[in-house]
Structure 1
Amino acid sequence: MSHALTFPVPSAVGSLDQYIQSVNRIPLLTEKEESDLARSLRDEGDVEAARKLVLSHLRVVVAIARGYLGYGLPHSDLIQEGNVGLMKAVKRFDPDRGVRLVSFAIHWIKAEIHEYIVKNWRLVKIATTKAQRKLFFNLRSMRRSSNTLQGDEVIAMAEHLGVKPEEVREMETRLSGGDVALEAGPDDDEERFAPIAYLADPHAEPSEVIAQRQYAHLQDEGLHTALAKLDDRSRTIVQRRWLADGEAATLHELAAEYGVSAERIRQIEAKAMQKMRSQLAELA
Structure 2
Amino acid sequence: MSATFALPVPSSTGSLEQYIQAVNRLPMLTQEEESELATRYHDQNDLEAARRLVMSHMRVVVSIARGYAGYGLPQADLIQEGNIGLMKAVKRFEPSRGVRLFSFAVHWIKAEIHEFILRNWRLVRIATTKPQRKLFFNLRSMKKNMSALSDSEAREIAEDLGVRPEEVLEMETRMTGQDIALLADDGDDDGYAPIDWLADSEHEPVRQIEKKAVDRLQSEGLHEALATLDARSRRIVEARWLADDSGATLHELAAEFGVSAERIRQIEAKALQKMKAALAA
- TM-score, structure 1 normalization: 0.86
Report the more deviating stretch, 258-267 or 188-197: 188-197
Counterpart in the other structure of 1:272: 271
Aligned counterparts of 2:109 and 2:67: Cα–Cα separation in 1? 12
Counterpart in the other structure of 1:71: 71
Q: Which amino acid aligns with 1:166?
A: E
Q: Report the Cα offset of residue 9 of structure 1.
A: 5.3
Q: Report the Cα offset of residue 181 of structure 1.
A: 6.2
Report the more deviating stretch, 161-170 or 253-262: 253-262
Q: Relative to 1, partners in 2 of residues 1:115 and 1:183: Cα closer, same or farther, differing over 3 Å?
A: farther
Q: Relative to 1, partners in 2 of residues 1:29 and 1:176: Cα closer, same or farther, differing over 3 Å?
A: same
Counterpart in the other structure of 1:152: 152
Q: Which amino acid aligns with 2:228?
A: K
1:82·1:113 contact (CA, 8 Å) conserved in 2?
yes
Counterpart in the other structure of 1:123: 123
2:225·2:278 contact (CA, 8 Å) conserved in 1?
yes
Q: Relative to 1, partners in 2 of residues 1:81 and 1:196: Cα closer, same or farther, differing over 3 Å?
A: farther
Q: Secondary structure at the match of 2:126?
A: coil
1:16·1:252 contact (CA, 8 Å) conserved in 2?
no
Aligned counterparts of 2:183 and 2:240: Cα–Cα separation in 1? 24
Q: Relative to 1, partners in 2 of residues 1:266 and 1:125: Cα closer, same or farther, differing over 3 Å?
A: closer
Map Cα deviations across residues 239-280 of structure 1 (whole Å, 9 max, x no partner).
111111012111112222233222222222222222222222
Q: Which amino acid aligns with 1:177?
A: G
Map Cα deviations across residues 200-245 of structure 1 (whole Å, 9 max, x no partner).
4689876565445423322221211121222222211111111110
Q: Relative to 1, partners in 2 of residues 1:170 and 1:32: Cα closer, same or farther, differing over 3 Å?
A: same
1:15·1:253 contact (CA, 8 Å) conserved in 2?
no
Q: Which amino acid aligns with 1:165?
A: P
Ranked by relative contact order (alpha carbons within 8 Å, sequence separation 6 or more), the top structure is 1
Q: Which amino acid aligns with 1:227?
A: L
Counterpart in the other structure of 2:238: 239
- TM-score, structure 2 normalization: 0.87
Q: Relative to 1, partners in 2 of residues 1:194 and 1:103: Cα closer, same or farther, differing over 3 Å?
A: farther
2:240·2:249 contact (CA, 8 Å) conserved in 1?
yes
Equivalent positions of 1:1-284 (< 5 A) are 10=8, 12-13=11-12, 14-180=14-180, 189=186, 198-200=197-199, 207=206, 210-282=209-281
**Which ranges in structure 1 are unaligned for 5 or more consecutive residues?**
1-7
Map Cα deviations across residues 84-120 of structure 1 (whole Å, 9 max, x no partner).
1111111111111110111111101111111111221
Aligned counterparts of 1:49 and 1:198: Cα–Cα separation in 2? 66
Aligned counterparts of 2:257 and 2:182: Cα–Cα separation in 1? 37
1:158·1:168 contact (CA, 8 Å) conserved in 2?
yes
Q: Secondary structure at the match of 2:131?
A: helix
Q: Report the Cα offset of residue 60 of structure 1.
A: 0.9
Q: Report the Cα offset of residue 18 of structure 1.
A: 1.8
Q: Quote the RMSD (CA, aligned, Å).
A: 2.5
Q: Which amino acid aligns with 2:139?
A: L
Identity of aligned residues (%): 66
Q: Which amino acid aligns with 1:149?
A: L
Aligned counterparts of 1:207 and 1:105: Cα–Cα separation in 2? 58
Q: Which amino acid aligns with 1:159?
A: E
Q: Relative to 1, partners in 2 of residues 1:41 and 1:172: Cα closer, same or farther, differing over 3 Å?
A: same
Report the more deviating stretch, 264-273 or 189-198: 189-198
Q: Relative to 1, partners in 2 of residues 1:202 and 1:165: Cα closer, same or farther, differing over 3 Å?
A: farther
